[in-house]
Amino acid sequence: MVDMSQSKNSPTEELYAVVRGRVQGVGFRYFVVEKAASLGLRGYARNESNGDVEVLAQGSRPALEHLLSLLRQGPSAAYVSDVQVIWREPTEHVSGFHVRW
C-alpha cells in the first residue's frame, strides 16, 4: 500500500500511459477511475479508436507507480498485453479523476 502521508509533500508528477490488449468493453476505464481516485490522483482514462485505453494521471510518484502496477493487471475481465509509459512534468491542469470521451 502507498503511504499517502509522505506523498502529500512530494512534487506533482504526471504519468501518461497507453494500455493495450483486451481493455475496452471490460470496465477498464472505470477500474482506473476507482483506483486512481482512491490513491488521491487527478486525471482521466479514455478509450482510443484503435482499442487502446489512454491514461493521464497526476500526483506523487509513489501513488503513480502504484497505479501503474494496477494498470498492468487491469480488472478481472481485461487482458493487458502492453503498457507504454511516459513520465513527465504535468502538461495540463486537471481536477478529480474522470472518464473522458
* Band of pLDDT at residue 17, cut at 50, 70 and 90: very high
Give the mean pLDDT of 47-68: 98
In-domain check, residue 63: yes
Arithmetic mean of pLDDT over the chain: 92
The domain of 19 spans: 12-89
Percent of the chain with pLDDT over 70: 91
Which residues are within 8 A (CB) of 91 and not within 5 positions of it... i.e. 6 or more apart?
Answer: 14, 16, 56
Q: Which CATH number goes with the domain that contains 51?
A: 3.30.70.100
Please, what is the end-to-end C-alpha distance for the chain in angstroms?
30
In-domain check, residue 55: yes
In-domain check, residue 5: no
In-domain check, residue 56: yes
In-domain check, residue 100: no
In-domain check, residue 20: yes
Positions marked active-site: 29, 47
